[in-house]
Structure 1
Amino acid sequence: MTDTAQNGTGWVLGVDSGGSGLRVALAPVPTGTESAADALPAEEARADTAVSRTPVRTGADGIDAAHLMEQLVPMACALLGETGGDGHIEAVAIGAAGMATLGDDLRARLPGSLFEAFGVRKLALAADAVTAYAGALGQRPGAVVAAGTGMIALGTEGKRWHRADGWGHLLGDCGGGAWIGRAGLDAALRDFDGRRGGSAALRSGAEEFFDGPVGELPGKLYPRTDRPAVLASFVPEVVRCAEAGDPVAVGILRAAALHIAEAAAAVCPPETECQVALTGGLFGIGDLLLVPLKEELSGQLPRARAVPAEGNPLDGAVVLASALALDALALPDDGRLLHLPEATG
C-alpha cells in the first residue's frame, strides 16, 4: 500500500515485541486537542488485538527486522480488514525488548519496509521500558518501574530519559523475578550447606519444585539458555514460604522492595512531586511486596506519589503512535531508548 492509495479512516498501529511473541493493536487517530495523544483509546474504538506467539528472532545484527515484518504485515492487514479495509495507517510505534542495544537492524530497515508496505512516514522505535512508561503515565513527567522477570526504572522531566537498572539477571535487574528466585535458591543452598541465612522451608520447596536434591541444581540450571525465566519461576515458592511465615522468604521480598524503591528514586525527576507508576507481573505478588515497597518509597521519595498504571506496554505503543499522528510527541528522542527516524518516501 502506498500513500497514493490512502483514503478513509486514519489509524495508528502499536506493536509490542518481547520474549513471549508479538502483539499488535490498531486504533483510530485521536481527534480533538493535542491532549488526546496522552490518552488510551477506548476499548470499543480499538480493533481487536492480533497476537503471535513466535518471538522475533535475534541474530548477529540484533533484532531481525525482516522477521518482524514477516509477522507484522499480515497481522496489520488482518486488523485493517476487520475495520472494513478502507482506512490507512498514519503512524506506527514499535516497542521491543532490547531495542536500545539490539535495535540496529530495526533502525536501519524498518522505516523503508513500513513505507513500502503501508505508506507510513511516521515511525517511533522504542525500548519496551519506554512503551511501558507511555502506557502507565502517557506523556506526563514522572517515573515508571517495570518489573517482571527483570526490573527497570525509567523517568523523565520531559527533556531526557533517566534510567536505572535493567542490566539483566547477571549484572542487575535487582528486585525483579529472576533476582527473587535466585535469592530463594541461594537460601535453599545455604540451608543445604549449613551456612547462615539458610531456609529449610525454601530448601524443601526447591527440592519439590525442581524434583531432586538442591545439590543437583547447578547441573539443572547452568546448561539452560532460559535461566532468567527458570529463576523467576521459583518466585511463587518464595511467596508461598513468606505467606507461611518463613522469615528468610519475608526478608527476600523486603530486600526486593528496597532495590525497586532505590531504582525509582534514581530516576524520579528532581524538585518535583514525582508520580511513580508500577507496572508488570511481579507486582501481582501483592502486599508481601507492595507494603514494604510503599514504605521504602515513602522514606526514599517523600515527594513522590504512587499512582496506578493506566495501561500496559502495548497501550503505550498506541499512545506513542497517536502522538506521532498528531505531531504531538513530547517524550525525549534520544536515538536509542526512543528513536524517531526521518520520514521515508
Structure 2
Amino acid sequence: MSTRRVLAIDAGQSGIKVRAAAASGGDLLFPGIRTGEPLLPQLASVVAETIARTGAPPDVVVAGISGLTDANADADAMLALTAAHGVRRVVLAHDSTTSFLGALGDRRGAVVAAGTGVVTLAVGAETTARVDGWGWIMGDAGSGYWIGREALDAVMRAYDGRGPTTELTAAVSDRWPDLSQAYMSLQADPDRVRIVASFAAVVARAAVAGDAVAQDISVRAAHELAQSVRAAIAQVRTDEETFPVCAIGGVFGSAPLLEAFTADLHTGDASVRLVDPVGVGIDGVMALADLDTAHPLAAVTHRAG
C-alpha cells in the first residue's frame, strides 16, 4: 500500500464512503450522489468536508464512481477543484473498475456487481470488457430492478387471469391496495426505480418459501447474470486457464438466485470458478492509487497530476 496520503471515495447513488489513509477512526459516510447536479463539485465538497472532519489533508484523491460517464470523468477538472487542499494527483474510475479491484485485486477474472442495477467487468492478460450496466430502461438484466419489474409483471398477470397466482401479490397489494391503480401511482413517483427494485427482496423471500413464480424469476435472473459473465470473459480470455468470478451486491443475497447462478455459471465450463471476494469496493478504490500503469485496468481510469 502506498505511503502517500491517499483519500479514497467510493461514490454511489445510495451513499458515499470515504477512507482517508492518513486519518484514524474508520471510514466516513456521506449522502449519495445527486444525479441531477454536476458530479465533480459534489466530490470536491466531500474532499473538503473529509479534511475538515479528519484534519488529514491528502495529496492523492482516488474515486470509484457509480455510472461514471466520459463527460464527467475529467480528472484535470477534479484536480483543479481540490488543488487548494494540497491535492497533487487525482484518479477517477467507474465503480465497476473499483469493484473488481476490491473483489479480485489485480489478477485476471470477472466480477458481476448486482444491486439495483448490474454491471459485469472481466479483465484478461491485456484487455478488459464491460458488459451491461446500461440502466433500467436499456439493460441491467438480472438486477434488482429487473427482478422487481418481473415481479410486478407477474402480479398483474395474475390479477388479469393471464398468469398463475403468486404470493408476490400480497406484498404488492400491501403497497397499492387497489391494484388497478398501482401503475398510475408508480409511474408518477419520482422514486419509482428504487421502489421497483425493492421488490427483489420480496421475490427472494417468496422463492425460499416455495412460490413457483418467484423461483422462476430468480432462475431467469440468474441466467441473465451468468450470460453477462460469459460474454465478458469471452472478450478477454486468451487461454483456458481457470477464470475466477466474484458475484457481489445485494441481489446475490437471495439463496435460490445464487444457487441457480452458480449452477448456470459452471455448466459446460470447468475453467470458470466462483470465488469469494477478497475485499469490498472501498478497498478497490484505495488500490487505484497504486495500480500499475501497465495493468489492463489502467486504460479505463482517468488521471491527472
* TM-score normalised according to structure 1 size: 0.80
| 8 Å contact from structure 1 (residues 174, 256) kept in 2 | yes
Q: Secondary structure at the residue paired with 2:21?
A: strand
SS state at 2:183 partner: helix
Please give the alpha-carbon distance, in whole angstroms, between the structure 2 residues aligned to 1:178 and 1:144. Answer: 19
- The answer (yes or no) to whether the contact 1:262–1:300 under 8 Å persists in 2 is no
Deviation at 1:124, TM superposition (A): 1.3
SS of residue paired to 1:267: helix
Give the percent of matched residue pairs that are identical in Structure 1 and Structure 2: 31
Q: CA deviation at 1:211?
A: 3.4
Residue in structure 2 matched with residue 320 of structure 1 by the alignment: 288
| Structure 2 letter corresponding to 1:136 | A
Structure 2 counterparts to residues 168-183 of structure 1, below 5 A: 168-183=135-150
CA contact (8 A) 1:149 1:177 kept: yes
Q: Which residue in 1 is equivalent to 2:21?
A: 27
* Alpha-carbon distance, 1:139 to partner: 1.0
Tell me what 2:301 maps to.
338
1:77 to partner: Cα distance: 4.2
| Equivalent runs, 1:222-301 vs 2, <5 Å | 222-268=187-233, 269-270=236-237, 271=239, 272-285=241-254, 287-299=255-267, 301=269
Residues 11, 91 of structure 1: 8 Å contact kept: yes
- 1:89 aligns with 58
- Are residues 1:69 and 2:44 paired? yes
Among 207, 210, 213, which residue is 2:173 paired with? Answer: 207
CA distance in 1, matches of 2:171, 2:45: 43
CA distance in 1 between counterparts of 2:126 and 2:190 reads 38
Cα drift, residue 300 of structure 1: 5.1
Q: How does 1:49-198 map to 2 (within 5 A)?
A: 49-59=27-37, 63-79=38-54, 81=55, 85=56, 89-104=58-73, 106-121=74-89, 123-196=90-163, 198=164
SS in structure 2 at match of 1:222: helix
TM-superposition CA deviations, 1:194-226 (whole Å, max 9, x none): 113x33322233112x13132222111111223
**Alpha-carbon displacement from aligned partner over 1:30-53 (angstroms, at most 9, x marks no partner):** xxxxxxxxxxxxxxx965211112
Instruction: Name the amino acid aligned to 2:223.
Output: L
CA distance in 2, matches of 1:301, 1:100: 34
* Residues 97 and 121, structure 2, Cα contact 8 Å, conserved in 1: yes
User: Aligned-residue CA RMSD in angstroms?
Assistant: 2.2
Aligned AA for 2:63?
I
Q: Any unmatched runs of 5+ in structure 1?
A: 1-8, 29-44
Give the secondary-structure state (helix, strand or coil) at the position aligned to 1:256. helix
C-alpha separation in 2, matches of 1:313 and 1:251: 30
8 Å CA contact retained: 1:139, 1:331: no
Distance of 2:51 and 2:282 partners within structure 1: 14
Structure 2 segments unaligned to the other structure (5+ residues): none
Segments ≥4 residues shifted beyond 4 Å: none
SS of 1:260's equivalent in the other structure is: helix
The 8 Å contact of residues 60 and 87 in structure 2, kept in 1 or not, is answered as no
